[in-house]
Homo-oligomer: A and B are copies of this chain.
Amino acid sequence: MLSQRLRNESFKDRIMSAEEAAMLIEDGMTLGFSGFTPAGDAKAVPVALVERVKKEGKPFKINLFTGASISSKVDSLLSDAGIVNMRLPYQSDKGMRKNLNAGKVHYMDQHLSHTAELLRSGALPPVDVAIIEAVAITEEGHLVLSTAVGNSPIFAQMAHTIIVELNLAQPLALEGIHDIYMPAPHGEREPIPLKHPGDRIGTTTLAVEPDKIKAIVVTNQPDVNAAMAPADEETATMASHLINFLRQEVEAGRLGPNLAPLQSGVGSVANAVFYGFLDTDFTDLEVYSEVLQDAVFELMDAGKIKVASGCSLTISPAKHDEVLENLEKYRDRLVLRPQELSNNPEIARRLGLIAINTAIEVDIYGNVNSTHIMGTQMMNGIGGSGDFARNARLTFFCTKSTAKDGKISSIVPMVSHCDHTEHDVDVIVTEQGLADLRGLSPRERALKIIENCAHPVYKPQLMAYYEEALQRGGHTPHVIEKALSWHAKFIKEGTMTA
Cα distance A63–B196 in the bound complex, in angstroms? 35
Decide if B107 touches A441 in the complex (CB within 8 Å).
yes
A334-351 to B contact mask, C-beta < 8 Å, 1/0: 000000000001100111
Is there contact, CB below 8 Å, between A421 and B423?
A: no
> Is A189 part of the binding interface, using a Cβ–Cβ cutoff of 8 Å?
yes
- Taking a contact as CB atoms under 8 Å apart, the answer to whether B376 and A478 are in contact is yes
Q: Which residues of chain B come closer than 8 Å to A419, judged between CB atoms?
A: 421, 423
Q: How far does the alpha carbon of A179 sit from the alpha carbon of B125 in the complex, in Å?
A: 40
| Contact between B480 and A376, CB atoms less than 8 A apart | yes
CA gap between A48 and B416 in the complex, in Å:
47
Other-chain contact of A476, B117, B378, B443, B474 (Cβ < 8 Å): B378
Interface residues of A in 91-124 (CB under 8 A from B): 100-103, 106-111, 114, 117-118, 121-124
Name the segment of A165-173, A301-309, A485-493 touching the other chain: A485-493
Measured between alpha carbons, how far is A100 from B345 in the docked complex, in Å? Answer: 32
- Contact yes or no, A101 B475, CB < 8 A: yes
Report the separation of the CA atoms of residues A327 and B118 in the bound assembly, to the nearest whole angstrom: 39
Shortest CB distance A347–B (Å): 9
CB distance from A468 to the nearest CB of B (A): 12
Q: Which residue of B lies closest to A260 (CB)?
A: B186
Q: Measured between C-beta atoms, what is the minimum distance from A370 to chain B in Å? A: 10
Task: Type the 1/0 row for A300-334, where 1 means its CB is closer than 8 Å to any CB of B.
Answer: 00000000000000000000000000000000000
B481→A483 contact, CB < 8 A = no
Pairwise interchain contact A118-B421, C-beta atoms closer than 8 A = no
Query: Bound complex: CA of A496 vs CA of B423, how far in Å?
Result: 29
Please determine whether B186 and A441 come into contact, CB atoms closer than 8 angstroms: no
- Assembled-state Cα–Cα distance A163/B183 (Å): 44
Contact of A103 (CB < 8 Å), options: B346, B423, B426, B473:
B473
A191 at the interface (CB under 8 A from B): yes
A431: min CB distance to chain B, Å: 25
Known: A352-B189, A491-B480. A474 touches B121 (CB 8 A): no
User: Chain B contacts of A109 at CB under 8 A?
Assistant: 422-423, 475
Complex CA–CA separation, A375 to B106 (angstroms): 30
Instruction: Please tell me if A210 contacts chain B, counting CB pairs below 8 Å.
Output: no
